[in-house]
Copies of this chain bind each other. A is one copy, B any other.
């Protein structure tokens, strides 16, 4: 499998982290998204959205949308990271959709604007509202983690792998302070200590 990716991307890191936990080998092909490298005809043929990550399977088929790729890999490898019980599975799905709507735009986007020199006047005006919503999202995670080790209970699932990347980097750029969220801090340390864990910048796993 080839993972078309941009190393600083949390969306890409989700898939790398899952592959590392599952012991799957993938070849990394890197693109600089800040230089339009995902808007070539060749890339758009893989993903019309022009976005990494894209997982190219051995048969040449391409899967996009990071959380769809997580679900595919977990099901294809019958991993307990995606529960088979339908209610438990729905709880994992909930966090995956919530991440794309309520967490990523408020936490990952401001981090990108602040760390990749991508701020402009409109984004500066949008920032306070994004930060308010981002803190509401972090509070919701912190509340969920106050009585259990992981987001859906006491075992690691795709929900944690999905939410880990942009949460553990939330402070980059200065918009967020995780010391306000002690249960999230403990959860981060728990995941970092798991067998197979890799950092966001680790290319070999």
Contacts and interface: CB of A to CB of B under 8 A. Distances in A.
Nearest to A92: B68
Tallying the copies of this chain within the complex gives 2
B65 A94 contact: yes
A194 B98 CA distance: 30
A86 B97 contact: no
Contact of A122 (B49, B97, B102, B125): B125
| From A61, A87, A101, A122, residue with most partner B Cβ within 10 Å | A101
Contacts of A72: 86-87, 89-90, 93
A167 interface: no
Interface in A31-63: 48-49, 57, 61, 63
Contact of A98 (B61, B65, B98, B143): B65
A177 B66 CA distance: 30
Contact of A63 (B94, B98, B105): B94
Nearest to A71: B93
A66 B96 CA distance: 12
A9 interface: no
A67 B129 CA distance: 25
A193 interface: no
Interface string A72-93: 1001100000000011011001
Interface string A92-134: 0110111011101100000000000000001001100100000
